[in-house]
Amino acid sequence: MSRDPKHIRNIVLLGHSHAGKTSIVESMLFEAKAIQRRGTIDGGNTVSDFSEIEQERKSSLFSKLMHVSWKDSKINIIDTPGSDDFVGEILSSMKVADLGVVVLNSAHGVEVGTELIWEYLEEIHLPTMFIINQCDHEKSDFDQTLEQAVNRFGHKLIPFQYPLNQGKGLNQIVDALRMVMYEFPSDGGKPVKKPIPDSEKDKAQKMHNAIVEAAAENDDTLMEHFFDTGTLDEIELAHGLRKGIAKQQLIPVFCASAIKNMGLGRIMGFLNDVCPAPDDRPAAKLKEGELACKTAAPTSIFIYKTMSEPKVGRVSYFKVYSGILKTGDELVNASNRGTERINQIYVSNGKSREAVNELVAGDIGALVKLKDSHTNNTLSTKGTELEIAPIPFPEPRIRTAFQAANKNDLEKLVKDIHDLQEEDPTLILEQSQRLKQNILHGQGQMHLDLVRYRIEKLHGLHMEFIKPKIPYLETITKAADTTYRHKKQSGGAGQFAEVHIRVEPYHEGMADPAGLNVRNKHYEELAWGGKLAFYWCIVGGSIDAKFSNAIQKGVMNKMIEGPLTGSYCTNIRVSVFDGKMHPVDSNDMAFQIAGTMAFKDAFHQAGAQLLEPVYDLTILCSDTHTGDIMGDLQTRRSIIMGMDTEGHYQKIKARVPLSEMHNYSSSLRSLTQGKAKFSLSFAEYAPVTPDIQMKLTQEYQAHHKEAEE
C-alpha cells in the first residue's frame, strides 16, 4: 500500500560495533509481525546480516534496508555497520534518512565510533534520538552512559525512560513521557502497563517536567499555554516534541534490551506518533536550488547505494524525493543524460524484496538492473533537469598495492575492481604509471579485506596485497654548473652536442641567475607538483636556438625518472648558458641526450635531496591506550603535534611519513582492541634523513644494475 509522506518514517540505525543495532532491527520486525521469530547474531540468521561474510564475522559490513508497518506509519529502517572502515555505507544511509537513531551499549558507554558518527550528524543537521541498549547486561550502567552522552553531545539529550532494574533481571522500564511503568514478561514482547512505584515518582516527574518544558520551548503558543497551566496535553506535547526533534533542539533518549525484546514496541510507537516525517524536513538541496518533498510534483529519485548480488545483478537503492514513482516510468539521469525505464519497483527486508506498483515522495525502495545509473545519481522526469546534491564521501585513509596471483588475470581483476568502485565511492583504484603499481585506496584494512573477499568469492579471482611504493620527489639544495659533450661516430652521419648548464633550486620570485644573460624563459607546471624553470642564456649563437626544445626535452626525460631513485624531480631551474654544435652532426636527438646527461651530472653536484610525502594523522582514543599509541608513533618517525580532549577521549595529532603508515589500520586496531579511530590528510613533502636517502639510493642503483645484467 502506497502512503503519503506524512505517514512515512525513515530512520537510520547508527553506533559503534556491537552496540546491538542488528538485534534492534530483529525485535522491530518481530514486534511488527514482519517476521515470525527473531534471529540472532550467533545463529547467523538475522534479516539484516544476510551475507555469508557477515555471518562468518558476526558483524555488519553493509547497510541494509528493512521496513515495517506500525499503526499509521511505514517505518523504513536502514541498519549500518559499526566500523568506520565502512563509512561510505554509513554516510549514504544518513543521506536518505529523516532521523538518526544512535545506539549506545549500556555496558560500554559512549564509544569512539559514536564520536565520529556524531560529527557526521552535526555536519548534515540530521534529527537524532538515542537508544541506550543492552540494559539487561550484567555490567549495564544506564546512568553513567547517559551522563557520558550528555557531557559529550550536550544538554539537548533528554531521557524519556530509564530501566528500573537493569542487569540480568531487567523486566521494568519507567516511561517518563507517558508517566507509566512497563513490566515485561521474561521472554520480552508486549508489556503490562503499571503505575510508577512511589519510590520512583519524584524522579519520573522531574524527567516528565523536563520533557514538557523542552517541547514547549519550540513553539510560542505552546510556551504560553505551558506558562498558564504548567503542563501540555498529549496532542500539544506530541506537536512540540516533533518540532523540537525536527529542528535538532531536542534529542530523546530511550532504553531497551534488544536481545530480550524489551522496549522496542514503545520506541516504534514513538517513531509513529512523534518523529519527523519526510515532509517535516527542510527541502533537499539541489546542485542549484532546493526540492520540497511533495507528491504533486515531477518525479525525482536519488540512488544512495548500489550493490551487486549473485543471480540478481546490480540492485540500486533509492529514495523518492518528489512526485510518485510508478512502474513503467521513464526517467533521465542528470549525470549522463541517459534514460532509464522503471520496469519493477521493490520494497526490501534484507535480501527479501516485494514488488510494488508505486512509491510516493519520501519513501525508500530498490530497483534492479538499471542500465547506467550509480550511487549519487539523480533520476527525474524528462525536462525537469534536477540533480540532488551528492553524498560527500571522505578521502581514503590507507593504501595497498595488489597483483593477480595469475598474471593473466590482471586485466579481469582490474575490471572487477572498477565494478566494485561503482558500488563503493570510498574505494579508489589507481593504476600508477609513476610507481608502476596498481594501488587500492580505502578506509581501513577491513574495507580492503572485504574487497579481496568479494573479488575471490564472486569472481573466482585471487588477488594478493603487496607493499605499495612511496611517491618520493627529488630536488636540489644548491647551485651547480656542469658541461656535457655527447659525441658518437659509427659510420655515416655522427652525433655531436655540447651543453653547459647551471641548475639551481627554484622558488617563485627568485632573481635571474647571476652572471648570465637571460634571453628566454619557459616555466613548465609539473603534473606531480612544482615547476621546471628553463632559461635560455646563449649569447653569440654557440648553440642554435632551434635546439632549445630538444635540450629541455632531455632535461624533462631525467626529471621524470630522477637521478637518485627514479622518482619525479621538482622545483628546479635549468639555465643553458654555453655549448657547441657541429654543422653536420648536431641534431635534436644529440642535444636531447646531452641535455639529459648534463642535468644528471649537475643534479648530483647540487646537493641532491630526496623528499617524502608526510601526512597529518589524527587519532581518537581512550586514556588507557594513549601510552601504547604514542610509543608506536615514535617507532614511525612521527612528530607529535599536540594532544587535546574530545568528550572523554584523547585526540592525538601527529605528522607521519607515508612510508611509515603501511598496515597502520591493523596495528592501531590491535593496540586498542578496535577502540580507536584515525584520519589522514596530506601535509607536505619533507626531506628524508641522509641515512634513509643513502639506503633508498643504493637500493635503486642495485636494482638497475641487476636489470642491466
Q: What is the rounded distance in angstroms from the CA atom of residue 628 to the CA atom of residue 326?
A: 57
Crossing angle for the helix pair 21-31 and 264-273, to the nearest 10 degrees: 80
Is 245's pLDDT higher than 60? yes
Is 221's pLDDT higher than 80? no
Is residue 66 within 8 A of residue 30, CB to CB? The reply is no
- Residues of each domain in the chain carrying CATH 3.30.230.10: 474-607
Is residue 697 within 8 A of residue 705, CB to CB? The reply is no
CATH 3.30.70.240 correct for 610-691: yes
- The length of the chain is 709
Mean pLDDT of 132-138: 97
Which of 161-170, 210-219, 224-233 is predicted most confidently?
A: 161-170
613 membership: H or E segment, kind and range: strand 609-621
Q: What is the rounded distance in angstroms from the CA atom of residue 585 to the CA atom of residue 262?
A: 92
Is 311's pLDDT higher than 90? no
- What's the pLDDT band for 276 if we cut at 50, 70, 90? very high
- What's the pLDDT band for 2 if we cut at 50, 70, 90? low
pLDDT at 705: 65
The helix/strand count (H/E) of the chain reads as 16, 38
Segments of 623-690 assigned E as strands: 639-646, 649-657, 677-687
Crossing angle for the helix pair 234-246 and 198-216, to the nearest 10 degrees: 60
Q: What DSSP designation does 85 have? A: G
Segments of 324-421 assigned E as strands: 324-326, 330-333, 339-341, 345-349, 352-356, 358-360, 364-368, 378-381, 398-404
CATH classification for the domain delimited by 398-469, as one of 3.40.50.150, 3.40.50.170, 1.10.10.10, 3.30.70.870 = 3.30.70.870
Q: What is the rounded distance in angstroms from the CA atom of residue 257 to the CA atom of residue 239?
A: 28
pLDDT at 59: 85
Letter for the amino acid at 115? E
Nearest C-alpha neighbor of 387 from the set 470, 302, 329 = 302
Mean pLDDT of 433-451: 94
pLDDT at 229: 65
Percentage of residues in the chain having pLDDT higher than 90: 79
- Residues of each domain in the chain carrying CATH 3.30.70.240: 610-691
Topology, domain 474-607: Ribosomal Protein S5; domain 2 (3.30.230)
- Residues of each domain in the chain carrying CATH 3.40.50.300: 8-280
> Which residues have C-beta within 8 Å of that of residue 188, sequence separation ≥ 6?
27, 257, 260, 261, 262
Phi, psi torsion values for 672, nearest 5 degrees: -120, 10
- Residues of each domain in the chain carrying CATH 2.40.30.10: 284-381
Reported as a single tens digit per residue, the pLDDT across 602-654 is 999 999 999 999 999 999 998 889 999 999 999 999 999 999 988 778 999 99
Q: What is the rounded distance in angstroms from the CA atom of residue 11 to the CA atom of residue 28?
A: 12
Three-state DSSP at 405 gives coil
Crossing angle for the helix pair 220-229 and 198-216, to the nearest 10 degrees: 140
C-alpha separations of 375 from 51, 88, 102, 328, 367 in Å: 21, 11, 24, 22, 12
Is 301's pLDDT higher than 90? yes
- What's the pLDDT band for 233 if we cut at 50, 70, 90? low
Q: Exposure of 706 by Cβ count < 10 A (0-12 exposed, 13-18 middle, 19+ buried)?
A: exposed
**Most distant CA pair in the chain: distance in Å?**
112
Half-sphere exposure of 649 (CA within 13 A, CB side): 23
Neighbours of 699 (CB within 10 A): 11
Is 448's pLDDT higher than 90? yes
Per-residue burial over 347-377, b if 16 or more Cβ lie within 10 Å, else e, is bbbbeebeebebbbbbbbbbbeebeebbbbb
Segments of 206-344 assigned E as strands: 251-255, 284-285, 290-291, 300-309, 313-322, 324-326, 330-333, 339-341
Is 709's pLDDT higher than 70? no
pLDDT at 640: 95
Q: What DSSP designation does 470 have? A: P
Is 123's pLDDT higher than 60? yes
Q: Taking the domain 284-381, which CATH number applies?
A: 2.40.30.10
Percentage of residues in the chain having pLDDT higher than 70: 97
Mean pLDDT of 393-403: 94
> What integer best gives the mean pLDDT of the chain?
92
pLDDT at 378: 97
Letter for the amino acid at 306? T
68 membership: H or E segment, kind and range: strand 64-70
CATH class, 8-280 region: alpha beta
